[in-house]
Amino acid sequence: MLDEMDVKILKVLQQDTTRAVADIGKEVGLSTTPCWRRIQKLEEAGVIQRRVALLEPTKVNAGVTVFVQIKTDQHSLEWLEKFHAAVVDFEEVVEFYRMSGDIDYLLRVVVPDIAAYDAFYKKLIGRIEIAKVSSTFAMEQIKYTTALPLDFVLEDAQHSKRT
Amino acid sequence: MLDEMDVKILKVLQQDTTRAVADIGKEVGLSTTPCWRRIQKLEEAGVIQRRVALLEPTKVNAGVTVFVQIKTDQHSLEWLEKFHAAVVDFEEVVEFYRMSGDIDYLLRVVVPDIAAYDAFYKKLIGRIEIAKVSSTFAMEQIKYTTALPLDFVLEDAQHSKRT
DNA sequence: GTTGAAAATCAATGCAC
DNA sequence: GTGCATTGATTTTCAAC
């Protein structure tokens, strides 16, 4: 489905969407029109999901990341749906995964400080019954990127056939 | 530093940067010119860091998330710098935190499948000496957003005074 | 802060090759 | 796939209020 040229374009757009189509074309070795058409197709195909602004966490008072590991004893469908909906609703929760292994769920929570995390924690356990919660604070964010690895796109022939 | 109007604008831009300035102005209750000026200031101030495209993970063959917990026994500055640089270099590593508590580092790694994770794992431990590595696979990504919580921006007077 | 409007840039399309 | 030319939209900058 995607070829090397698409990958080049996606690599640029994953880093910066402010650049003009003509500019991107120059970088990847394509003139404006075909470059523009490829971007359109990538959007229609849903490969490009959305274009967003990334903010500097410390400048919006959201510089502290906490990872919350959750273990539950409840496994009814009803509880599950309620739990998911409740957690998703918190804007402090920026990532939320159902995990394999020992821990059932993993949350990445973003707050201004420890006090705010405590407030979040109380809100969370107030709304839902959880068996075990364990919070770990990030001391430093060494890397954070929204850019997905693109070296796998072309590698796997099986994948191309599937999609 | 930031007021309610800025927060409204940021909320829009965190979700979608394709919208025209005039449009955003309408939504937040501002005409084009002052809305445009505010966005400029937010960019100059570094509140808006960048504008990027978000891709659909499954469509670029990067649908599997693995969390890697790392514990080390080495704490020399030299090892630390080498370790950081090596990990950051992997495009599969999309997030990388130095943690408090029991685990020293936490990585979020994105790969196409388990086999690719195994390949990554071998590359990782081949490059650096790590005491303990524990990998946990995400079964489901229930929430993932790049939008930071903005309800804290105005709340804390201390913060405003500091920045 | 507002409106309105002008100028520059760019997206988006069509056409010829 | 390329180049060119065009239309329309949007950004960006100006005035005047």
For residue B60, give the nearest of A15, A56, A153 by CB distance: A153
Predicted confidence band at A156 (pLDDT cuts at 50, 70, 90)?
A: low
- Per residue in A1-58, pLDDT (tens digit) is 899 999 999 999 999 999 999 999 999 999 999 999 999 999 999 999 999 999 999 9
Query: Does residue A130 have a pLDDT over 50?
Result: yes
pLDDT at site A147: 98
Query: Does residue B158 have a pLDDT over 70?
Result: no
A contact residues 113-152, partner B, Cβ 8 Å cutoff: 116, 136-152
Closest CA to B140 of A124, A144, A95, A90: A95
Predicted confidence band at A118 (pLDDT cuts at 50, 70, 90)?
A: very high
- Per residue in B84-119, pLDDT (tens digit) is 999 999 999 999 999 999 999 999 999 999 999 999
**Domains plus CATH for chain A?**
1-54 (1.10.10.10), 57-137 (3.30.70.920)
Dihedral angle of Cα A52, A56, A60, A61, to the nearest 10 degrees: 130
Please name the nucleotide lying closest to B34, CA to C1': C1
Chain A partners of B14 at a C-beta cutoff of 8 Å? Answer: 52-53, 55
* B52: number of Cβ within 10 Å: 22
How many residues in total does chain A contain? 163
8 A C-beta contact, residue B132 and residue A42: no
The answer to whether A51 faces chain B, any CB pair under 8 Å, is: yes
Half-sphere exposure of residue B102, counting CA atoms within 13 Å on the CB side?
8
pLDDT at site B131: 86
8 A C-beta contact, residue B146 and residue A54: yes
8 A C-beta contact, residue A51 and residue B53: yes
Which run of H or E residues covers position A114?
helix A114-127
DSSP-assigned letters across all residues of A36-86: HHHHHHHHHTTSEEEEEEEE-GGGGT--EEEEEEEE-S---HHHHHHHHHH
Tell me the C-alpha distance between B60 and A133, whole Å: 34
- Residue A22 Cα, gap to closest chain B Cα (Å): 17
pLDDT at site B159: 53
Query: Does residue A163 have a pLDDT over 90?
Result: no
For residue B15, give the nearest of A52, A61, A110 by CB distance: A52
